[in-house]
């Protein structure tokens, strides 16, 4: 793929874009870029509140669209864009970048080796990342929710969340989100703008193996534990054995593809558009992520009340 044109409202950023990409046309007007018949794909890296209108305009102009997260700011807008993309026969993709890291791709490839998926526990924290007009749910939670939904091919049946707002933030600055899947794992996600350290750590437990994914680690980001707990012992089994029947084995840190996630994503998008490869992160996944976030918002507003959903 080739970068042909850039639209940027701010003059200082247009100058920077011209210096960084001298072969690309730089314009202050997004509509001019979208109307260009030479373009096949429009990438939206704009404030989330602008995603819906710009994506809809691009789809109607016959363009494929890649939108950075969060996809849009409401499930209603996401549903409308999914239908519009189908009517226009265009690809609508969402930039959930972590799905393209070497660690997450390896987890997805090896997921069956874990056995039955029992739980997913993720922590994603930062300090000093307050952003105007958004909150920690829309900023950090899409990363882990998109990873989780890409791994678990089952409906979400319950969402519960509790959160807190600090300083003059417009929404929660920290939250704990719990998801329960139909006949599947329990998931817990902690996101926090008020933590003293950057943490990007996920534990996935299976009936045969368990793993830890730590994206902050410079090496050994993924560790697979040959450990599990035997479940479902019969009624005649000894109670002591029922309590201690665990299997503990080796810990392996598999070699991961070192390719940068965004470069991997760009190559994947090109294959999707040119060769019909199934997209890893399309608008339907984006819609499910937004629905989970909205359910979490409603649960927080209800002081943590669990919500029965069908997502």
If asked whether residues 28 and 153 sit together in one domain, one would say: no
* Lookup: tokens for 301: 């507003």
In angstroms, rounded to a whole number, what is the distance separating the alpha carbons of residues 236 and 229? 18
Query: Are residues 32 and 151 located together in one domain of the fold?
Result: no
Report how far residue 202's alpha carbon sits from residue 145's, in angstroms, rounded to the nearest whole number. 12
User: What values do phi and psi take at 195, rounded to 5?
Assistant: -85, 150
Chain position carrying tokens 């509509």 = 31
Cβ proximity of 47 and 133 under 8 Å: yes
One domain for residues 92 and 216: no
Quote the pTM value.
0.92
- pLDDT given for residue 237 in this prediction: 58
Who's near 310: CB < 8 A, 6+ residues apart? 155, 156, 157
Note the pLDDT tens digit of each residue in 194-224.
999 999 999 999 999 999 999 999 989 999 9
pLDDT digits (tens, 9 = 90+) for 288-299: 999 999 999 999
Instruction: Find the domain containing 232 and state its range.
Output: 99-259+289-308
Query: What are the b/e assignments for 62-78, b being 16+ CB within 10 Å?
Result: ebbbbbbbbbbbebebb
Other residues' Cβ atoms within 10 Å of the Cβ of residue 239: 8
Closest of 163, 200, 158 to residue 181, by C-alpha: 158
Q: Are residues 84 and 145 in the same domain?
A: no
| 83 and 127 belong to one structural domain | no
**Local confidence band at 244 (pLDDT 50, 70, 90 cut-offs):** very low
CATH number of the domain enclosing 51: 3.40.50.720
Do 184 and 255 belong to one domain? yes
């Amino acid at each position: 793929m080739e970068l042909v044109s850039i639209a940027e409202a701010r003059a200082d950023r247009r100058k920077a874009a011209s210096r960084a990409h001298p072969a690309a046309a730089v314009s202050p007007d997004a509509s001019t870029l979208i109307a260009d018949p030479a373009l096949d794909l429009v990438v939206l890296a704009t404030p989330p509140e602008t995603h819906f209108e710009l994506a809809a305009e691009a789809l109607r102009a016959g363009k494929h669209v890649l939108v950075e997260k969060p996809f849009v700011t409401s499930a209603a807008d996401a549903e409308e864009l999914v239908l519009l993309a189908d009517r226009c026969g265009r690809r609508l993709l969402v930039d959930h970048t972590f799905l393209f890291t070497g660690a997450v791709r390896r987890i997805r490839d090896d997921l069956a080796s874990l056995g039955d998926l029992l739980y997913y526990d993720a922590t994603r924290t930062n300090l000093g990342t307050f952003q105007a007009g958004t909150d920690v749910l829309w900023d950090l939670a899409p990363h882990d929710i998109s990873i989780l939904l890409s791994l678990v091919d089952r409906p979400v049946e319950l969402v519960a969340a509790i959160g807190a707002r600090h300083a003059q933030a417009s929404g929660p600055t920290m939250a704990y989100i719990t998801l329960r899947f139909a006949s599947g794992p329990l998931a817990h996600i902690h996101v926090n703008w008020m933590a003293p350290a950057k943490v990007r750590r996920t534990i996935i437990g299976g009936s045969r193996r368990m793993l830890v994914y730590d994206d902050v680690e410079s090496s050994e980001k993924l560790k697979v534990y040959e450990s599990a707990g035997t479940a479902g012992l019969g009624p005649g089994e000894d109670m002591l054995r029922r309590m201690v029947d665990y299997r503990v084995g080796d810990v392996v840190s598999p070699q991961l593809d070192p390719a940068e996630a965004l470069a991997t994503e760009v190559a994947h998008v090109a294959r999707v558009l040119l060769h019909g490869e199934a997209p890893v992160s399309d608008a339907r996944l984006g819609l499910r992520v937004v629905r989970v976030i909205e359910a979490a918002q409603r649960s927080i507003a209800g002081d943590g009340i669990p919500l029965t959903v069908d997502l």
